[in-house]
Copies of this chain bind each other. A is one copy, B any other.
């Protein structure tokens, strides 16, 4: 099967498939006489594995690890698989908390301006300006919540 057909079967863009190959996530397939990539059904499965993990928010590095365990189902304990998933859950959870705090801060800022104003008189801009001069602001009640989310 050609790359376009693989793309259709997996819902993954052609360029992304070539990118995964370059990154060593998807094994390089055989080539036709004219140099076209020629995929086997197992490639569909491998690509689905990658896309499934991506849909769970995992990094390509983590997926590479998982795919390795997948390919070599050794009789060792699967602690590292669990640890990998646990880390991912922790990361997602902490992102949620960061964003929830962000949402509260933005809402507090937004509450500064509800009725129609002019720019010169806008509570939002004024709050942002005051905060720039080091004054306390509604959005950041404590100093520690002002760090920038990665």
Q: Is the interface of A mostly helix, strand, loop or mixed?
A: helix
Q: Which residues of B contact A107 (CB under 8 A)?
A: 89
Q: Which residues of B contact A137 (CB under 8 A)?
A: 52
Oligomer copy total:
2
Which residues on A are within 8 Å of B, measured CB to CB?
45-46, 48-49, 51-57, 66, 69-70, 72-79, 81-82, 85-86, 88-89, 92-93, 95-96, 99-100, 102-103, 105-107, 109-110, 113, 116-122, 124-125, 128-129, 131-134, 137, 139-140, 146-149
Q: Which residues of B contact A134 (CB under 8 A)?
A: 48
Bound form: Cα–Cα A31–B67 in Å: 54
User: A81's contact among B73, B92, B124, by CB below 8 Å, is which?
Assistant: B124
